[in-house]
Amino acid sequence: MLLKRLEAYGFKSFADKLEVEFDEGITAIVGPNGSGKSNITDAIRWVLGEQNVRNLRGNKAEDIIFTGSSTRRPLGAAEVSVTFDNSDGKLPIDFQEVMITRRIFRSGESEFLINKTKCRLKDIYNLFADTGLGKNSISVISQNKVDEVLNTKPEERRYFFEECAGITKYRERKREAVRKLDNTQANVVRLNDIVSEIE
Ligand code: ATP
């Protein structure tokens, strides 16, 4: 599964629309300090559903929207899209190309889209679960991440192996099923109470 394209507008330092095409093989992005190289990996992580803004080197959600400069006014929203070549069918969706988009507005409102159709964050997580790009994966390794991975507790490190082994999605599904069972159990108890009151 090849990451073909990244488009970003209003995300961090990208006040103008940024478009990066990725070819097969290795792509190196070079530039002076502070020119926005890491902002590119932040954008990829964000569009794939990163919810913790600290992992994107910010403090609050709106820190990822362009804050303005001496010559540019701040922007009201940020948008990032990534396009994957899905001709190998690694993503469980019936499209040869899959574009994921995430938008956030200063009001706090945000949205996700798969191939321009609105979806839930959960749909993005499900789509990428066990592909190596899912939540908690280490496909994007930022500065200090190597140390962080080596210093994590064994239980936390296990998540990386689980993601690679492809069992994360079953863990998620089990969690969801257990939650539904608990809710149903609570409903049965309530129902029994009502029945015994009526009797
Ligand atoms: P280095 O080589 O030092 O690691 P880098 O090329 O990876 O640098 P980044 O860390 O990606 O650079 O970019 C940092 C720049 O992004 C800083 O100049 C910072 O002011 C700018 N920046 C971050 N968030 C925003 C924002 N919300 N609005 C405007 N600029 C931002």
* DSSP string across 163-188: HHHT-HHHHHHHHHHHHHHHHHHHHH
Tens digit of each residue's pLDDT (9 = 90 or more) over 30-76:
999 999 999 999 999 999 999 888 888 899 989 999 999 999 999 99
Question: Does the Cβ of 70 fall within 6 Å of ligand 1?
Answer: no
* CA–centroid distance, residue 40 to ligand 1 (Å): 10
* CA–centroid distance, residue 168 to ligand 1 (Å): 33
Instruction: Look at the alpha carbons of 37, 43, 46, 47 in this order and tell me if their dihedral is positive or negative.
Output: negative
Buried b (16+ CB within 10 A) or exposed e, 5-32: bbbbbbbbbbbeebebeeeeeeeeeeee
* CA–centroid distance, residue 57 to ligand 1 (Å): 10
Q: Is 4 helix (H, G, I), strand (E, B) or coil?
A: strand
Q: Is 155 helix (H, G, I), strand (E, B) or coil?
A: helix
Which helix (H) or strand (E) covers residue 105, if one does? strand 97-105
Question: Does the Cβ of 58 fall within 6 Å of ligand 1?
Answer: no
Q: What is the mean pLDDT of residues 170-175?
A: 88
For residue 130, name the pLDDT band (cuts at 50, 70, 90): confident
Detail the DSSP E strand segments found in the chain: 2-9, 18-21, 77-85, 97-105, 110-114, 117-119
Backbone phi, psi, residue 9, to 5°: -145, 125
Question: Percentage of the chain surpassing pLDDT 90?
Answer: 68
CA 38 – CA 46 distance, rounded (Å): 12
Question: Does the Cβ of 57 fall within 6 Å of ligand 1?
Answer: no
Question: Does the Cβ of 35 fall within 6 Å of ligand 1?
Answer: yes
ipTM of the complex: 0.96
Tens digit of each residue's pLDDT (9 = 90 or more) over 84-110:
999 999 999 999 999 999 999 999 899
Question: Does the Cβ of 171 fall within 6 Å of ligand 1?
Answer: no
**Per DSSP, what are the bridge partners of residue 117?**
114
Q: State the pLDDT at residue 151.
A: 87
Mean pLDDT across the chain, nearest whole number?
91
Name the binding residues: 32-39
